[in-house]
Structure 1
Amino acid sequence: MNEEKIGNEQKIRRPRQADIATLAGVSVSTVSRVLANEPGISDTVRRQILKVAAEHGYPVKSATEAVAGGLALIASDGVTGGLSVFYEAIVDGLRAGAAEAGMPFEIRMVREDRTTPDAVRDYMRAASAEGLFLVGIDPNEMLRAWLLDGMTPAVLVNGTDPMMQLDGVSPANFFGAYQATSRLMKAGHRRILHLSGSHRHTIRERIRGFEAAIAAVSGAEGRFVDLALQGSASGEAHERTAAILAENAGFTAAFCMNDFIAVGVLEAVTEAGLRVPEDFAIVGFDDLPCALMTNPQLSTMRVDRAALGREAISLMLSRFRNRTAPARHICQAVIPVPGGTVPNAETRE
């Protein structure tokens, strides 16, 4: 559709976003995001779309129009129990995305077992927040019911809703775990440990990914080692791995829920006199700074944590615009990071 034709049709109808997209040479989704003042679009593209829209009479939301505020509740048990570096990057992404969108944004650490509807309502009122980000928190049934009944915009950050009622963003936990386990099997290992907790939906997806990868290879055997994760994750992993190695059960590799756990496994394996990766191979998850400090350097799976925060802001902006739309869940890809705890053959994948 050329510009002259659009000009004639404006006499009888308002131009559509598809018309603006054609004239600006971009996709309709890009036009939609710019007109909604969503983040993640370059200034050059944004200015071009707004210019075309203005020239053809499309009503444009003022960039200075107030955006509803958001409050992020983050599980204090997680951020003070060793995972602060993981959540720090997520919060950075949330803050950056909120700033780009002009969204007033506050964050508060809370005990997950105290996220009652009354408490959350008070937190949101104090922050003048219309939207709620639950960071590392799986809502209990009372909180879930309150959010849904009141149609409160809510996004699970590093979380997923198995009932598909709440928006969420998370790493691709199932496929990341599947690939991590496959890395070990491609290196020739067939008896593999998986050290993990089972306390969150996202973590259970990693367990499912591990089990699926084991089931896909004839003769492979996996053993799930359920960790309590009440104190030091590395310390508990060290203790459990040492006990398993003492059984002489023939396990030669481990996929670990996160890099802290992998550090404990590596210490136990080394103390047992085994060579890594020749006798025992290890893959972690999250690509935390400690992965660079082990000897040999840890093979792990990278999670773009800042991207999780930015995507959560995008989901919230969409929810502000339409509170009755079906829930959406965004999965961020998890990227293998080569290291020295799996044979070097993995770098050729």
Structure 2
Amino acid sequence: MNEIKPKRPRQADIAALAGVSVSTVSRVLANEPGISESVREHILKVAAEHGYQVRSAAEAVPGGLAMIASDGVTGGLSVFYESIVDGLRSAAAEHGMSFEVRLIREDRATPEVIRDHLKSARAEGLFLVGIDPSAALRSWIDEEKVPVVLVNGTDPQLRLDGVSPSNFFGAFQAAQRLLKAGHRRILHLTGSHRHTIRERVRGFDAAITSVPDAEGRLVPMTFHGSASREAHELTAAILAENAGFTAAFCMNDFIAVGVLEAVTEAGFRVPEDFAIVGFDDLPCALMTNPPLSTMRVDRAALGREAIGLMISRFRDRAAPARHVCHGVVPVAGGTVSDVATS
């Protein structure tokens, strides 16, 4: 008779048994500061009693520090990045990596500032989350040979490891959803401030040019203030032109919310008269009427993948850089008639 091996407990199991949150368990297992000793000891005791393998100090890998852009499109630590941080923390704990997270304005991400943060965090590995390093920071990284992983970012020269959604193919598929629904004049509300976003622009353009009678119009955004409000104003102005556009692909779901508001205020039926596809599958996508059709990004998986890349980098500092793309998944919603989407 085959012996059934007990299932290894997960951090969620330890959290339930200890009566604390999953994030608290992750922080304790990653040896992060800010947790009382009594809580720390209780969680470690519960973990040990239920067979969760906590790595010893001798087995621990070098520490990691995640610097997250605090002045992104949505401002502050958005829902998008919160999920990435959850994935980073969880995977760091699994690998016994001490791990800290800090917000920073992208224009403050200078070599001097980053060096000070790494030193105070006692970290060797640097995760740049939503930050494209400047030329000065790139030079410092190269000179100091700092292990770096770009999270939700990409290096056009592929000299730094990175992980991101499949932005080109995700945007291509999003535009195809609108084209297959019969739309031929399609707006694309976006910016060009990051390499990842420019990949979405390329994907949208490729889908449009693949259909002979299709026309796309890039609607650049400044992202000064609310992205939804700016999208609302831009869309209202375009609709007033009566230029015949009947659909929009939006860089993210916050923008799509503003487009939907402008379209419905103008008296268009959605999706019959005007269709919309967003990107990211944020919680706001379920709060609109109708719910947004969007593209789902597994944000926690990006964080977990980034930790794996860093562990590999620690093991072989001279290995060629790698970039990992995660596929995005269409979410049906109700703002485009694509019955084939499940």
Q: TM-score, normalised by structure 2?
A: 0.82
Aligned position for 1:28: none
Trace 1:313-324 onto structure 2 (pairs within 5 A). Answer: 313-324=307-318
Aligned position for 1:113: 107
CA offsets, 1:228-262, max 9 Å, x none?
Answer: 01110000000000000000000000000000000
Given the superposition, is the C-alpha separation of residues 154 and 313 from structure 1 closer, same or farther in structure 2, using an over 3 Å criterion?
same
Contact 2:187–2:247 at 8 Å: present in 1 too?
A: yes
SS in 2 for 1:286: coil
What is the distance in 1 between the residues matched to 2:279 and 2:119?
A: 37
CA offsets, 1:64-105, max 9 Å, x none?
Answer: 512100000001112861661000000000000000000000
What is the distance in 1 between the residues matched to 2:330 and 2:185?
A: 21
Aligned position for 2:153: 159
CA offsets, 1:166-214, max 9 Å, x none?
Answer: 0000000000000000000000000000000110000010000000000
What is the distance in 2 between the residues matched to 1:275 and 1:80?
A: 28
Contact 2:185–2:216 at 8 Å: present in 1 too?
A: yes
Contact 2:74–2:227 at 8 Å: present in 1 too?
A: no
SS in 2 for 1:198: coil
Aligned position for 1:306: 300
Say if 2:234 is the partner of 1:255: no
Q: Identity rate of aligned residues, in percent?
A: 75
Aligned-partner residue type, residue 59 of structure 2: E
What is the distance in 1 between the residues matched to 2:195 and 2:73?
A: 18
Say if 2:83 is the partner of 1:126: no
Given the superposition, is the C-alpha separation of residues 198 and 123 from structure 1 closer, same or farther in structure 2, using an over 3 Å criterion?
same
Structure 1 vs Structure 2 CA RMSD: 1.6
CA drift of 1:343 comes to 1.1
Gaps of 5+ in 2: 1-54
CA drift of 1:149 comes to 1.4
Of the candidates 273, 283, 307, which is equivalent to residue 289 of structure 1? Answer: 283
Aligned structure 1 segments of 4 or more residues deviating by more than 3 angstroms: 61-64
- Which one has the largest radius of gyration? 1
Contact 2:168–2:200 at 8 Å: present in 1 too?
A: yes
Aligned position for 2:47: none
Aligned-partner residue type, residue 101 of structure 1: H
What is the distance in 2 between the residues matched to 1:347 and 1:196?
A: 24
Given the superposition, is the C-alpha separation of residues 248 and 346 from structure 1 closer, same or farther in structure 2, using an over 3 Å criterion?
farther
Aligned position for 1:140: 134
Q: How many residue pairs end up in the alignment?
A: 289
